[in-house]
Structure 1
Amino acid sequence: MIAALAGDLKREAERANQRRLLVLAGDRDRGVEAAYDAIEAVDADEGRVSIVSTREGFRFDRVAPRSADELLGRTREVVVLDCHDRFVPNALGRAAGAVDGGGLLVLLTPTLDDWPDRRDGFDESLAVPPFALADVTGRFRERLVETIRTHPGVAVVDVGGAKRGSRGRRPTIERDGLTDPPPSRSRSSPGRPATATFPGTVYDTCLTADQSRAVRALESLATPGSAVVVESDRGRGKSSAAGLAAGALALAGRDVLVTAPAFRNAAEVFARAREVVGAGGSGVGGTNSEDDRTVRVAGGGRVRFLPPVVAAELPDDPDCAIVDEAAALPVRLLERFLAAPAVAFCTTVHGYEGAGRGFSVRFRDRLAESEFAVRDVRLDEPIRYARDDPVESWVARALLLDARPAVPEAVAGTTVAEVDYRALPPDDLIADETLLGEAFGLLVAAHYRTEPNDLARLLDAPNLVARALVAGDRVVAVALLAREGGLDPETRRGMYEGERVRGNMVPDVLTSQLRDEAAAEPRGLRTVRIAVHHALRGHGIGSRLLEEVRDEFGEEVDYLSVGFGATPRLLRFWRRAGYRSVHLSTTRNDASGEHSAIMLRPEGDAGRALLDRHAVAFRDRERDALSDAHRDVDADVVRGALAACPASVSVDLTPHEWRAVIAASVGPGMYDVAPGAFRDLAVATLLGGTGNVALDDREERLLVRKVLQGRPWESVADELDYVSTAACMRALGSAVEPLVERYGTDLALAERDRFLDR
């Protein structure tokens, strides 16, 4: 019976060049047997079958759920996803994405009636201390089961054995999943554009007219000053088009730098580039792991991959850069690629690779303001399967891959006074697909890392709560909040001794890294994500949401907190919201390219004590770190972090140090005689904002770059646009004068007057 159903599904999928989903629900062992029967029935090529499971021992390619990223860029005839021991939502998206047109996606699940109430390995990851596994809910799977039972193209078979006494029951077909679609229409004819300059073999490889148009647009990367934006939904051949263009550019002698959130995201780019170079007979690449990320051409051209943070430096001066899955990278990092001679940004519009509107809203504005001549191209026609593929629409629905905020017209003009604060309990989200879609869509739109796992956390994690501002029935802002801390002494001791405690990010950093064993005792509420509708940014909506959160939770917790990739804008935003700096990471985040900041807002005595001691520790660390681990941190990030630190500092210089400072500022002395004294003055000035010390932005940056970070005079003068090194030195002396006025002792002031009176 299962074999016959699988054969019918496969034949229908092949006729329509679509995919079909077969759900085998019930006992796991029976499900595995049924999956083998289905694979044999459809006569699948064993080399194109993958099983995603925590268990081993299959005769097919086995991928662990945590390693499902390995499926990206691969095409499979059948993918079996074992959902019994550890059902990871991200793995579902990746498994479905690997199935080719005419193929089958097979899910092995517990009985659908029981599945939402079962707990597995993924649920254990949601049970963060002090919560237990019993506190995790099954709403995500409840919703998933509903989509399985109602979506077209989904077959469901109860294989039996999941309930007592049902072991011998024969499998039952609950849904056959057949849709009787029309035969697949042929794809559009790509052809070779009349004005194309790439070799004809490149265009012969294109599978659709969309892809051919994209390759034609990417030809402009051979011309400095050109930028190309390629957008598509998943499975439209965007990365393949980028790879074909990269290979052709390399054949023409260009050095093409490729980056993406991870190399696996760019695997298709390199596969297509190798084909082009190989067809041109010029490939000279090696086979070791490093050379797998480089395609070389005998004439000197090459295609090479570097991680985003490294690639943004444009090492070795590439002729052009290609950024794949650009929406999965933060805007501040993307902006650095505008220094390339020519650049392409390729991005998935909807999908777990990253659909952040930071790219489509904020970065597109920045690109339009640049000096590049920008070309846009969009790919709509699917390549690996036909339009109206039911598995594509089911995955998008089940994982909310197409979630998006309310349309701008529905919220435009909304003021702070017109919005209402409301809770978003998971039951309300489950009951209202529009509410869920708009709330989750805002989170996806605002953050480059929101993924299907986050949807499960939103609906099921006991430590998370969501709050929103709404205008009528439209969501205009949303905050995802995590309860942290309040941990027992044994857990705190383990954390201090190096154990990782999930879901307690701020207590973990303060305890394990900053060596405060008591830091996990106070109760905190961390803002994991906050998102404001892009049509309403800059109108005080986000600040209003934070104040509402504080009003609701301020008496329940000891402090509010946030951690984020530090930028000057974000540091200003959180400082205005009453949050204060306690930490700046020593290394950059691999994805964002930023140093991560942690800020606290105390709400009780325990929170104030926590902030006080960590603000002081932060002040003392930064005095030394800024000339060491933080020597390359952006000057405005340093200014923002120090301005938000509430710790005070007393300037206690010796008479000799004061004389050296005065001599270097208004007399004949040299800065190098007393750099430590200048550092004390700079820290005191920048902490908590300049207050009553009147310095302009450039003078503050000068204090950071030269005094605190110890950079060479020449580079400081160049960066801050002083006409000469001597002018930069004089500017530092002038900047120190108001510091002497503010902090100087009687001896210092007398010494200053001695020179000024001459």
Structure 2
Amino acid sequence: MVTLPQLATWLAQAASLQIRLPIVWQGSAEQLLPLTKQWLNNNSELTTYWLGDDAPPQATIVNAGRNYQLLGTECDVLVINAFNGFSADAVAASSGCVKAGGLWLLLCPEFSQWSQQSNTAHQSLLPYPLDASQHQGHFIAFWLQQLQQSNVIIGHNQQLLQSLTWPTKTIIKQAPSPYATCDQQQAVQAIQRVLTGHRRRPLVLTADRGRGKSAALGIAAAQLVSQTTQPFIITAPSPQAAAIALQHFKNLAPAHLHNSFLFIAIDELIQQAPTAALLFIDEAAAIPTPILQQLLTRYSRIVFATTEHGYEGTGRGFTVRFQQHLNLHCPGWYKLHLKTPIRYQQNDPLEQLVFASFLLQSTSPLLSNLTNRCTNIHCYTAADWLKQPEKLQQVFSLLSLAHYQTQVKDLASLLDNPYLSVITLEAENTVLACALLSAEGKIEPQLAKQIYFGQRRLQGHLLAQNLAFHCAQPEMASLSLLRVMRIAVQPELQRQQLGSYLLGHIDAYAKDNNFAYLGTSYGVSLSLLKFWQQADYLPIRLGQRADKASGEYSLLMLKVCKKEGDKSKELAANFQQLLPSLVAEHYPKLEPKLIIALSATTPTPLLTARELEQLWLFSQQQRPYELISHLLLVWFNHNFKTIPKTIAATLVAKLWQQHSWQQISTDYKLAGKNAILDAWQQLLALDKNIQRKP
């Protein structure tokens, strides 16, 4: 490892330039780990984070997979011990914690040796039956390619192989106290306009890490709280995520007003809907979109703040997904992006290293001249990306933009999982659309039976797992299955049928490669359901728990590739006929119009003449609802596909979901139970099958 005087000199220079010092040192664990621990012991005043095995007692251990616990925390030194594994997600997330003047130190085997080794830290990314200790993926080799093009100190045992190109010191325009930057001052002014300006004009505040976004919330609250008698509320995915804003508020606001800025957890906020002059939502991209939409309806003055980069676990899809909703419902909304770093300077080598090596730099291809050009279909597998890193950058950027949960581990999966492939639609070497595919199934019959009996779960075989266990079809798990994990189209080219065009090529690809079924699983909405149904995918299962990130229920759909022995239509018919009987217990919050779209009319016996007469009497207000509700349910089960959608939705809410009259009145803006019944009675009076003369 580097000699201690040299390291001390480098750190002093990094501190003077307000940058973090990235060092990658290759060699043997027996040599490098003791030297590192000795240096840390001699510098025990430094706050040290340690990622990987064999951490010294004074270090805080960084746990892979718990990235959000790192938000708002800082360290002087981050040591990454990569000798026994390299977790891409954890490395990217923890790097944001290093202070200016701090050290980012990666200890690893010799590059030529490391790129040929297995990576046990990525076991969770590999499907059955792959074993990470025996499998050699391509992520490490790819990451080393990117690393060696970056501005980073690289050493090998006692030899310095690459020095740092030290950036010039950036002179940042000084902002008046209490602001750290002019960006932050501008953000506080924008927040002030949310409180004092027109209602229903929310602010979306975005930034990469270290730009003072959360602090701006606290500063603004401190300056504005005396202007109103109502409290300010801040919510976030966790109390820790709101701690910075609250601390800045308490540092600046008078003590007697400290109780005027309150943290309220998301679930409590939804249930109680307390009054607030201004609602702050920090790390908004990590909160389910339907919840954000509910809060947008309930509160007229809101500030949404979020980190946009994928290493926070949310991806940049929030920018597209939720802001499309804002365009429709709050056309006067405003967005502000904070660019100037606070904890380190703009040209920080570590930030540039992380962005470049994990492909977190968003690419925006010029598409205006490509729409009429000849398009081509290409297929890529894990081994192809080493030769085409620029194409991987395009694909990963598009996936990140289209899906709000894209993370660095998804990049690692593309390179390490040989069962993943990407099909792209391209024009002049530019990706217009892409789909991520997972080859699954081919499970041994005995193992498929164990899944069926609930004795085993297999990683990476979502389609086979669901077919064997939830759909009670273990023999289908032994078939060759292809799942469309994600499909994405460049935002400027959406609604031009490119996604459907790509699905057509995926269909041909599946048949050419002898897959028995195509499948997909996604957070269901009416628009997405229509998209997949148009491609002849059939719904066969709806998950019983809403996704924590999207708030949506996961729908599994299937499309047959080989007609012989096809069971997809049978599974779909069973699912669609059973769904109405399940919604009261399992899907009380699912949108009624979506339930109708997913359901099929039931083959229950028709109503008798006497029963139809009871419904006619109800339509004439000569029978109470309570006396005919069971008959109305049978009638509705036969007719819900032909009823006007809004009235059908109220009947779903009552008959299937068993909502209260009050809830239905609120949801559909009706004046109580009598108004709801009046609408139903008018509907029944129009049904020729139950009309009769008194």
1:101 is matched with 100
1:217 is matched with 190
- Residue 377 of structure 1, aligned match among 333, 336, 350: 336
Alignment of 1:515-664 (within 5 A): 517-518=474-475, 520-554=477-511, 556-604=514-562, 608-609=566-567, 612-613=570-571, 615-617=573-575, 619-620=577-578, 622-642=579-599, 649-653=603-607, 657-664=611-618
The letter for the 1-side match of 2:415 is L
| 3-state secondary structure, aligned to 1:502 | coil
2:232 is matched with 256
Determine the C-alpha separation between the residues in 2 that align with 1:361 and 1:347.
13
The alignment covers a number of residue pairs equal to 687
Report % sequence identity: 24
2:273 is matched with 315
- Residue 632 of structure 2, aligned match among 664, 671, 678: 678
1:729 is matched with 677
Determine the C-alpha separation between the residues in 2 that align with 1:733 and 1:434.
63
Determine the C-alpha separation between the residues in 1 that align with 2:213 and 2:68.
18
Alignment of 1:700-711 (within 5 A): 700-711=648-659
Q: Residues 633 and 355 (structure 1 numbering): CA distance in 2 closer, same or farther, change over 3 Å?
A: closer
Q: Confirm or deny: 8 A CA contact 1:526 1:562 kept in the other structure.
A: yes
- Residue 242 of structure 1, aligned match among 211, 217, 241: 217
Q: Confirm or deny: 8 A CA contact 2:146 2:357 kept in the other structure.
A: yes
The letter for the 2-side match of 1:281 is A
1:188 is matched with 173
Instruction: Report how far residue 396 of structure 1 moved.
Output: 0.3
Q: Residues 435 and 135 (structure 1 numbering): CA distance in 2 closer, same or farther, change over 3 Å?
A: farther
Determine the C-alpha separation between the residues in 2 that align with 1:404 and 1:314.
42
1:275 is matched with 251
TM-score normalised by length of structure 2 = 0.90
Instruction: Report how far residue 305 of structure 1 moved.
Output: 3.8
Q: Residues 600 and 272 (structure 1 numbering): CA distance in 2 closer, same or farther, change over 3 Å?
A: farther
Determine the C-alpha separation between the residues in 1 that align with 2:288 and 2:367.
22
Q: Residues 473 and 155 (structure 1 numbering): CA distance in 2 closer, same or farther, change over 3 Å?
A: same
The letter for the 2-side match of 1:181 is P
**CA deviation string 1:404-460 (max 9, x = no partner):** 34234354x458xx4322112334433233311111111000010001100010111
- Residue 208 of structure 2, aligned match among 227, 233, 254: 233
Determine the C-alpha separation between the residues in 1 that align with 2:443 and 2:497.
35
Q: Are 1:119 and 2:133 an aligned pair?
A: no
Instruction: Report how far residue 211 of structure 1 moved.
Output: 1.1
Q: Confirm or deny: 8 A CA contact 2:126 2:413 kept in the other structure.
A: no
Instruction: Report how far residue 84 of structure 1 moved.
Output: 2.7
1:66 is matched with 65
Determine the C-alpha separation between the residues in 2 that align with 1:16 and 1:4.
19
Residues 213-222 or 665-674, more deviating:
665-674
Instruction: Report how far residue 667 of structure 1 moved.
Output: 7.5
Q: Residues 595 and 250 (structure 1 numbering): CA distance in 2 closer, same or farther, change over 3 Å?
A: farther
Q: Confirm or deny: 8 A CA contact 2:584 2:656 kept in the other structure.
A: yes
Determine the C-alpha separation between the residues in 2 that align with 1:653 and 1:389.
74
**CA deviation string 1:170-227 (max 9, x = no partner):** x33322x332433x34532211xxxxxxxxxxxx332112112212222234337142
- Residue 404 of structure 1, aligned match among 359, 363, 384: 363
1:21 is matched with 22
Q: Are 1:148 and 2:138 an aligned pair?
A: no
1:360 is matched with 319
**CA deviation string 1:590-625 (max 9, x = no partner):** 2112222222222235773255236414532x2322
Determine the C-alpha separation between the residues in 2 that align with 1:114 and 1:254.
63
- Residue 179 of structure 1, aligned match among 165, 178, 183: 165
| 3-state secondary structure, aligned to 2:58 | coil
The letter for the 1-side match of 2:9 is D
2:293 is matched with 335
TM-score normalised by length of structure 1 = 0.83
| 3-state secondary structure, aligned to 1:242 | helix
| 3-state secondary structure, aligned to 1:143 | helix
1:507 is matched with 464
The letter for the 2-side match of 1:526 is R
Q: Residues 654 and 509 (structure 1 numbering): CA distance in 2 closer, same or farther, change over 3 Å?
A: farther
Q: Residues 356 and 172 (structure 1 numbering): CA distance in 2 closer, same or farther, change over 3 Å?
A: closer
Q: Confirm or deny: 8 A CA contact 1:578 1:601 kept in the other structure.
A: yes
Instruction: Report how far residue 655 of structure 1 moved.
Output: 5.7
Instruction: Report how far residue 729 of structure 1 moved.
Output: 2.1
Instruction: Report how far residue 636 of structure 1 moved.
Output: 2.1
The letter for the 2-side match of 1:51 is W
| 3-state secondary structure, aligned to 1:114 | helix
Q: Which consecutive unaligned segments of at least 5 residues does structure 2 have? A: none
Determine the C-alpha separation between the residues in 1 that align with 2:208 and 2:414.
24
Determine the C-alpha separation between the residues in 2 that align with 1:650 and 1:143.
59
Determine the C-alpha separation between the residues in 2 that align with 1:376 and 1:544.
34
Q: Residues 93 and 451 (structure 1 numbering): CA distance in 2 closer, same or farther, change over 3 Å?
A: same
Instruction: Report how far residue 141 of structure 1 moved.
Output: 1.1
Instruction: Report how far residue 18 of structure 1 moved.
Output: 0.8
Determine the C-alpha separation between the residues in 1 that align with 2:542 and 2:231.
36
Q: Confirm or deny: 8 A CA contact 1:651 1:684 kept in the other structure.
A: no
1:446 is matched with 402
Determine the C-alpha separation between the residues in 1 that align with 2:331 and 2:508.
47
Q: Residues 524 and 312 (structure 1 numbering): CA distance in 2 closer, same or farther, change over 3 Å?
A: farther
Instruction: Report how far residue 399 of structure 1 moved.
Output: 0.7
**CA deviation string 1:91-119 (max 9, x = no partner):** 11122101111111011222211212211
1:168 is matched with none
Determine the C-alpha separation between the residues in 2 that align with 1:516 and 1:276.
63
Instruction: Report how far residue 130 of structure 1 moved.
Output: 4.1
| 3-state secondary structure, aligned to 2:106 | strand
1:164 is matched with none
1:419 is matched with 375
Q: Residues 491 and 315 (structure 1 numbering): CA distance in 2 closer, same or farther, change over 3 Å?
A: farther
1:31 is matched with 32
**CA deviation string 1:643-665 (max 9, x = no partner):** xx6x8634444565444344434
Q: Are 1:719 and 2:637 an aligned pair?
A: no
Determine the C-alpha separation between the residues in 1 that align with 2:413 and 2:86.
13
The letter for the 1-side match of 2:190 is A
Q: Are 1:475 and 2:431 an aligned pair?
A: yes
**CA deviation string 1:224-243 (max 9, x = no partner):** 71422222232211122123
Determine the C-alpha separation between the residues in 1 that align with 2:564 and 2:269.
44
The letter for the 1-side match of 2:352 is S
Q: Residues 576 and 617 (structure 1 numbering): CA distance in 2 closer, same or farther, change over 3 Å?
A: closer
Q: Are 1:466 and 2:422 an aligned pair?
A: yes
Residues 647-656 or 90-99, more deviating:
647-656
Determine the C-alpha separation between the residues in 2 that align with 1:414 and 1:270.
53
Q: Confirm or deny: 8 A CA contact 1:44 1:77 kept in the other structure.
A: no
Instruction: Report how far residue 136 of structure 1 moved.
Output: 4.5
